[in-house]
């Protein structure tokens, strides 16, 4: 029966606008599942070109999760020990070598910071659109939260945690920040589904940097405006940078990649993270 959820969501909500399901009572994970099975959404993510990371600078680490299982992350660490941490969250393709390269680049740019690219798919990496749809729609909220909780426990209670994620990972960047409590010091979300529960947003321990595309048919300008309004109602600060671009414009493996906008957004993210990781 559990495999019928994506089909159920498409049948029931398939004709809903992005605005409607962005602010309804479904969980963010269910909204992600709905988007994953939408063919228009899928068409914005053309399969990435093959890419293999040469001479990796990081390594995979394993950690226990509260559900009794094990999770993994690609860890890139500085030469000196530090309690500063960034969690990276992949988009719907999974923890592929593109994301690992992003983790390496970000660690080099930030300096004395531990970067963990967290694997929400438990080792599965998609190379085709149907696989990505299946993995994203099949991600269970309980498992994703167990993985994030395990990562928080792994880095320890003294860690100061910032997050960054793209698309599905943008949504989980914010959800992770909500879970981190007082350890959270920053959150960057690229075109991810926002949290619409104002009571949850009230628990945020930091501000949020949101990066969005005005041509995005799902996380569209109205969804972003609603998110800004909800953050204001929650008494929390959000800075939004919007670009005249489609969904996934910052993904270098996407044929719709816009280097100018991606570079500008990355600069904004770096300024934000460096300020909070000082």
Nearest CA among 197, 1, 32, 252 for reference residue 121: 32
Q: Which two tokens stand for residue 273?
A: 């993270």
The predicted-structure confidence for 94-114, as pLDDT tens digits, reads as follows 999 999 999 999 999 999 999
The number of residues in the chain equals 278
Q: Are 145 and 168 in contact (CB under 8 A)?
A: no
pLDDT for 24 = 58
Domains identified in the chain, total number: 1
Residue partners of 240: CB distance under 8 A and separation at least 6: 210, 211, 212, 224, 228
Q: Output the domain CATH number for residue 172.
A: 3.40.50.1820
- Structural domain including 210 reads 2-276
Interatomic CA distance for residues 169 and 229, integer angstroms: 22
pTM metric for this prediction: 0.92
Q: Where are the alpha helices (DSSP H) in the chain?
A: 5-13, 18-22, 28-36, 39-43, 97-110, 129-138, 141-155, 168-180, 198-201, 221-233, 259-276
pLDDT averaged over every residue in the chain: 91
Strand pairing report for 70-76 and 59-64: antiparallel
The predicted-structure confidence for 246-259, as pLDDT tens digits, reads as follows 999 998 877 788 99
Q: Which of the residues in the chain have pLDDT under 70? A: 1-25
């Amino acid at each position: 029966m559990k495999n019928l959820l994506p089909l159920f969501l498409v049948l029931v909500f398939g004709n809903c606008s992005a605005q409607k399901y962005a602010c309804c009572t479904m969980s963010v994970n269910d909204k992600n599942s709905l988007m994953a099975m939408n063919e228009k959404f899928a068409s914005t993510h053309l399969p990435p070109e093959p890419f293999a990371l040469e001479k990796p600078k990081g390594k995979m680490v394993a950690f226990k999760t509260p559900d009794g299982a094990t999770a993994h992350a690609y860890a890139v660490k500085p030469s000196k020990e530090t309690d500063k941490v960034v969690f990276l969250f992949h988009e719907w393709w999974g923890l592929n070598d593109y994301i690992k390269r992003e983790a390496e680049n970000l660690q080099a740019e930030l300096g004395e910071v531990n970067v963990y690219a967290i694997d929400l798919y438990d080792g599965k990496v998609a190379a085709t659109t149907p696989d990505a749809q299946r993995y994203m729609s099949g991600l269970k909220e309980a498992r994703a939260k167990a993985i994030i909780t395990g990562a928080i426990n792994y880095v320890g209670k003294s860690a100061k945690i910032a997050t960054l994620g793209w698309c599905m990972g943008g949504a989980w960047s914010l959800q992770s920040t909500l879970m981190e409590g007082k350890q959270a010091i920053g959150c960057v979300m690229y075109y991810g589904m926002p949290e619409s529960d104002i009571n949850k947003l009230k628990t945020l321990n930091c501000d949020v940097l949101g990066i969005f595309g005005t041509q995005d048919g799902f996380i569209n300008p109205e969804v972003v405006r609603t998110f800004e309004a909800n953050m204001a109602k929650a008494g929390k600060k959000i800075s939004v940078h919007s670009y005249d671009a489609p969904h996934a414009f910052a993904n270098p493996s996407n044929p719709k990649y816009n280097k100018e906008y991606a570079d500008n957004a990355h600069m904004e993210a770096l300024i934000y993270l460096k300020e909070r990781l000082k």
